[in-house]
Structure 1
């Protein structure tokens, strides 16, 4: 498994940053290579992505969601990845958004891209584009304030 850890500080309150992040279908507006995300249920999403000309589709399950704190997920079949985004209040109008992503590169192109740091740069770019997206709007496009408890082993 490979991993990425990145963060960005956004000039919006924590609730605004968190609420926007829960709008998964908006991800193609700021995530490079994400063509579509469909919300199938409160805890399931379907992703269509394209990386280095390779198109992949997979489902991801939200494994934990705590309003204004964290959203964690893992893929279910196909692409192997898991991650968590956490939200940290720096002051009343600034939030640190932190991303931790683990993934298993498949095939020659993905393994080469991983070694060249492409995923790291893409994650950093996605967070910067999220910052621009939410700061330009100044408010979220929607919100889901539900809670998903981490499954017990």
Structure 2
């Protein structure tokens, strides 16, 4: 399973970065290829994606979530994938966001993309757009502070 490992610093307090990340339905605003995310329950999300011409719908389960620290998930159906996003305060107004995800490419296009690192570049670009999204707003669009 390929592993993607990316980190970025965002110029917002840790609670703002974390709270925005918990707003899964906002992901299409900064994640390339994500068409829709629906929060089904506190711990279940339904995704619709279109990446490199490959369209998918799948569910993902939040398996570990602690405010201002981490959000971890794993797929319930579809190609196997899992990951964790961690949040670390660099100072009062800056947060380090670290994404580590593992996934099993299914199609030939996905396997070729993983082989040349396209998936890693996609996550890097998504994090840059997340940074722009949350910094330009200056505040989160909502929050879920539950503990899983």
Q: Matched residue of 1:79: which SS?
A: coil
Distance 2:41 2:62 in 1: 10
Consecutive unaligned residues in structure 1, runs of 5 or more: 149-153
Distance 1:89 1:20 in 2: 15
Distance 2:38 2:77 in 1: 16
Q: Matched residue of 2:79: which SS?
A: coil
**Which residue does the alignment assign to 1:17?**
17
Deviation of 1:79 after TM superposition, in Å, equals 2.1
- Over the aligned positions, Cα root-mean-square deviation in angstroms equals 0.4
Deviation of 1:85 after TM superposition, in Å, equals 0.1
Deviation of 1:107 after TM superposition, in Å, equals 1.8
**Which residue does the alignment assign to 1:89?**
89
Deviation of 1:116 after TM superposition, in Å, equals 1.2
**Which residue does the alignment assign to 1:133?**
133
Distance 1:10 1:82 in 2: 23
Deviation of 1:47 after TM superposition, in Å, equals 0.2
Distance 1:15 1:105 in 2: 33
Distance 1:80 1:120 in 2: 17
Q: Matched residue of 2:125: which SS?
A: helix
Distance 1:11 1:42 in 2: 28
**Which residue does the alignment assign to 2:146?**
146
TM-score (norm 1): 0.96
Q: Matched residue of 2:38: which SS?
A: strand
1:54-65 to structure 2, matched below 5 A, reads 54-65=54-65
Deviation of 1:77 after TM superposition, in Å, equals 1.1
Q: After the TM superposition, which segments of 4 or more aligned residues of structure 1 sit over 3 Å from their partners?
A: none
Consecutive unaligned residues in structure 2, runs of 5 or more: none
**Which residue does the alignment assign to 1:29?**
29
**Which residue does the alignment assign to 2:119?**
119
| Alignment length (residue pairs) | 148
Distance 2:2 2:26 in 1: 26
Q: Matched residue of 1:109: which SS?
A: helix
Deviation of 1:32 after TM superposition, in Å, equals 0.1
1:61-80 to structure 2, matched below 5 A, reads 61-80=61-80
Distance 1:128 1:39 in 2: 23
